[in-house]
């Protein structure tokens, strides 16, 4: 069975994993809404966290800051985004992370999306990926690089043109696809047809309706996603699962149990 875990507070992710009965955690390294460099808040620093995770058998994933947008034509955002992404990749490697998740980003309203795809190509070509970099699909935005499978196919074609592009991974977010207007039925096959891979699943229900464009997560079975189709995505993907659902340890423990029950029925 794939490892199953949750996004948790970053100070002591090992304790957070134990509180949830989780095999894995996802954390930020620093402020997700800021441009400051990554920081490891675990007592003892990066090496201590790496050792503690290995001893506890907990897999760590890192989520890059939300402010990063390597696709944009705005130089004041794109160039710092590339630099900050590299710093977070380096920090993720220091703690022994299994991968780092980064959103696909977007271009400005007047821009041709093709420019954004090419900016991703340039980013990948210049990236020293010490750990797997996993691009995540997003829910909203008409100029988003990874909203829906059609855009994802264009993004992946550009990424694969870059040296190192074949090593870029994919993180499938169930809420983002559904809220972005992509049906869950047959989703795994459609995604694999363009990316060739699914490296991580963010298992999230959606507070809002299909094709709402709203990135608002709900606990599993309590939102608008068809639960049987959500379960099918988890089983067919066969990848590690992280829940990014509301609440704390108790709610995450319930959601992790929901995932495990359905994976056991595969």
- 242: which strand partners? 5, 202
| Mean of all residue pLDDT scores within the chain | 97
In the chain, pLDDT over 70 holds for what percent of residues?
100
Q: What is the mean pLDDT of residues 7-12?
A: 98
Helix axes 249-264, 13-20, angle to 10 degrees: 60
| Whether pTM exceeds 0.85 | yes
Map out the domains of the chain as residue ranges. 60-240
In the chain, pLDDT over 90 holds for what percent of residues?
98
Q: How does DSSP classify residue 166? A: G
Number of H helices, E strands in the chain: 9, 10
CA distance 85 to 51: 24
pLDDT at 266: 60
Which of the following CATH numbers is that of domain 60-240: 2.60.40.10, 3.20.20.150, 3.30.365.10, 3.90.1150.10? 3.20.20.150
* Per-residue model confidence as pLDDT tens digits over 184-230: 999 999 999 999 999 999 999 999 999 999 999 999 999 999 999 99
């Amino acid at each position: 069975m794939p490892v199953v875990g949750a996004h948790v507070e970053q100070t002591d992710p090992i304790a957070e994993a134990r509180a949830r009965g989780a095999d894995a955690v996802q954390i930020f390294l620093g402020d997700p809404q800021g441009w400051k460099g990554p920081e490891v808040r675990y007592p003892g620093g990066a090496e201590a966290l790496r050792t503690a995770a290995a001893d506890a058998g907990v897999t760590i994933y890192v989520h890059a800051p939300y402010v990063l947008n390597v696709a944009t034509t705005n130089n004041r955002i794109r160039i710092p985004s590339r630099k900050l992404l590299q710093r977070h990749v380096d920090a993720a490697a220091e703690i022994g992370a299994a991968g780092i998740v980064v959103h696909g980003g977007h271009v400005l309203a007047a821009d041709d999306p093709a420019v954004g795809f090419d900016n991703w190509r340039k980013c990948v070509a210049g990236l020293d990926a010490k750990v797997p970099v996993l691009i995540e699909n997003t829910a909203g935005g008409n100029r988003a690089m990874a909203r829906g499978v059609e855009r994802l196919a264009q993004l992946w074609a550009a990424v694969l043109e870059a040296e190192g592009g074949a090593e870029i991974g994919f993180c499938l977010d169930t809420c983002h696809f559904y809220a972005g207007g992509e049906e869950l039925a047959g989703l795994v096959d459609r995604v694999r047809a363009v990316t060739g891979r699914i490296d991580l699943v963010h298992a999230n229900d959606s507070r809002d309706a299909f094709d709402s464009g709203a990135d608002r997560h709900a606990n599993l079975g309590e939102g608008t996603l068809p639960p049987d189709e959500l379960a099918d995505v988890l089983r067919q993907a066969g990848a590690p699962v992280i829940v990014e659902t509301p609440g704390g340890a108790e709610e995450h423990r319930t959601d992790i149990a929901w995932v495990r029950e359905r994976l056991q029925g595969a």
